Each structure stands twice: as structure tokens, then as C-alpha cells.
Structure 1
């Protein structure tokens, strides 16, 4: 008589790499948000809202990256919104860098450009959850 055995599909290595990239993105965004608390505390009235908005955005991204790390093979709309947002920030920073001396443009282009690449790589690597 044949024996039936149940097997649980294991996530493949690339899926785990993508998930790891998302965990790293979440931790980095959370650390940046925590670092921005001091900027908010030290901001004058003319920049207080902008610094607060940025801090909340960093914490929001950290949370969304964590959601995607938890279930990277779902939430396609969240993926697209995050990738589009980071790509738009990168393109905008590059445009500011090319046309005027805007403080922070180079750093924004580098960080958000790198994050865009990480998100695209994580998206691609998490499309196929299990090994064939």
C-alpha cells in the first residue's frame, strides 16, 4: 500500500531575499523616522509642518514595508504605490539637482533612488513564492 505524505511548500531562496530586502527597508525607514523626531523638535515655525510631514511619511513607509515583508505575494496595489512614490521622489530630486542648487536634492536622489531599486528587486524576487 502506498503511503501518503503531506509536504509543505517552502519559500524559495529568491522569495526569502526579497522578504529580507523588505525587512531591511522597514527597519531603515523606521530608523530614519526616529531620527527625524529631533528635526521636528528643532524646527522653526516655517519648517515645522514640512518636517512633521516627512517624519510621518517615514513611519508610514516603515509600516507599509513591514506589511509587504509579512505577505510580499499580496497587496499588489501597495507595491505599485510605494514604487511609484519612491521613483517620483527620485526623478523630482534629480530634476531639482539639474536645475538649481536645492539643499538635500542629491541625498534624496541617492536614498530614494536606491530604495526604488531595492523595492523593484524585492517585488521581482517575491513573485514566485515556492520552488518548483
Structure 2
């Protein structure tokens, strides 16, 4: 009976973690879609930066989809996306402290929240109340 309860709890946590990662994927893909207009309206001084940003958002969206579908298989991908979002948050927080840097406050807010969501999703999707080793899947 205890094993069934533990397994059920583990499955519920994993499902919630996958849902959080799915929401992260949707938000990244929506942001990528909205970035298309930024690329098409960019002038020559920002065209490459806006294109880079758009492709990065599509990449993150795709990685988040992989993590939502198979959260226990892609440990290195978890590490990369969490570290990327945390680094962006810390860097833009430093820019925000400097003052006068465009988009810094918005980036700290969005990427900071996304970092918290990703860490939470990672922990939930890997949860195993029995303490047994995790298996792929």
C-alpha cells in the first residue's frame, strides 16, 4: 500500500513538473512568434541581434518541449536551460543595478520567474518519495 501511495505521489509530482515545463515551452514559443515582427521591423543596426533573439526563443521552446515530454531522460538539457536562464537573470540584475539599461527590468522579471519555474519543474519531475534511484522515462 505504501508503495502505491509513493508511486502515485511521484507520478503526480512528475505530471505537475511536466505541466510547468509545458507552460514554459508555450511561453517561449509565443515569445518567439512575437519576435518575428521585431526581426521584420529591425533596422540594420539591430537586425542580427533581433534574429539571434528570435532563434534563441525558438530553441528554448523546443528544449522545453523535450523536457516536458521526457523529463527524466534529458538531465544535461535541464542543466543547460536552468543555468542559461539563471545566468541571464543575474547578468541583467547587474545591468539593472547599473541603471539606464533598456529591457533589464523586464528581463530580470521574466527570466527570473522562468528560472524558478524550471528549477521547480526539474525537482518535481525527478521526485521519488521512496528514495529509489530514478529511471529513464
- Any runs of at least 4 consecutive aligned residues in structure 1 with deviations exceeding 2 A, and if so which? none
Q: TM-score, normalised by structure 1?
A: 0.89
Once the two structures are TM-superposed, the CA of residue 13 in structure 1 deviates from its matched residue by 1.1
Q: 2 CA distance for matches of 1:47 and 1:64? A: 26
Q: Deviations over 1:31-90 (max 9, x none)?
A: 000000000000000000000000000000000000000100111100000000000000
State the Cα distance separating 1:110 from its structure 2 match.
Answer: 0.3
Structure 1 residue 128: deviation in Å? 3.1
Structure 2 segments unaligned to the other structure (5+ residues): 1-6, 131-137
**Structure 2 length as normaliser, TM-score?**
0.86
CA distance in 2, matches of 1:67, 1:102: 33
Q: Does 1:43 align with 2:72?
A: no
> Match of 1:69?
68
- Would you tell me which structure has more helix in proportion to its own residues? 2
Aligned length: 123
Greater Rg over alpha carbons, structure: 1
TM alignment of 1:1-132, pairs within 5 A: 12-128=11-127
